Amino acid sequence: MAERALKADDLAAEVKQLMGDQLISAIYRDRIRTIRTRSYKLEATAKKTSVEVMHTLLGVELKIGKRRLLCPDLATARYLSVFARLGVAEVAVPYDITQISRLADDLESSWFRMMMLTEHLTATRSERLRGKLANLLIADQQSEVVALGAGPAIPEFNQNTRQRRPKYWTKPR
């Protein structure tokens, strides 16, 4: 039994090494948390639930288990769905909506690549090992994203809007 646990850990390390900077946590750390974001309470549970992006008459919704969250657009729903699959309760969402679509593409690609590597590395092994490896990877990515945090609820706006002339300035003659 200890041999199987060791094998799953070894395979998880191999998947992480193969993916490198394309891991969800690496994308979150390097490309999302470095820009201006706002926190979003996703309240996804850590246990495995179904996550689905739905198109309804009211717009785009993200269905997590039995709950439905209204999303402003498809890109935001896709972005949040990756973190819902990880079971993250609170996540940082970029304030600049033009960046969300590209980040959603990268996060979804990372998710599916991680799952494909899991399937590939355990093709000749048992279904139990495949599930254990997937759960290890998901738990690892979840803990790393949670450790990075979601940031402030409202982003900081550091803008100087004063357009007054300095007092020492004099009119040109």
Q: Which residue has the higher pLDDT, 43 or 163?
A: 43
Residue 112 lies in a domain: yes
The domain in which residue 48 lies consists of 7-148
Residue 171 lies in a domain: no
What is residue 60's three-state secondary structure?
strand
Residue 158 lies in a domain: no
Answer yes or no: is pLDDT of 155 > 90: no
Residue 1 lies in a domain: no
Q: What's the pLDDT at 86?
A: 93
Instruction: Give the tens place of pLDDT for each residue, 2-21.
Output: 455 558 889 999 999 999 99
Q: What's the pLDDT at 134?
A: 93
What is residue 137's three-state secondary structure?
helix
User: C-alpha distances in angstroms, 132 versus 23, 51, 115?
Assistant: 18, 20, 12
User: C-alpha distances in angstroms, 166 versus 62, 64, 73, 158, 169?
Assistant: 51, 55, 45, 20, 5
Instruction: Give the tens place of pLDDT for each residue, 30-71.
Output: 999 999 999 999 988 777 889 999 999 989 999 999 999 999
Residue 50 lies in a domain: yes
Residue 30 lies in a domain: yes
Matching residue, tokens 């982003």: 155
Rounded Cα–Cα distance for residues 117 and 140 (Å): 15
Give the total number of structural domains in the chain. 1
Residue 120 lies in a domain: yes
This prediction's pTM: 0.82
Q: Which residue has the higher pLDDT, 8 or 159?
A: 8
Residue 19 lies in a domain: yes
In which band, very low, low, confident or very high, does the pLDDT at 157 lie, cut at 50, 70 and 90? low
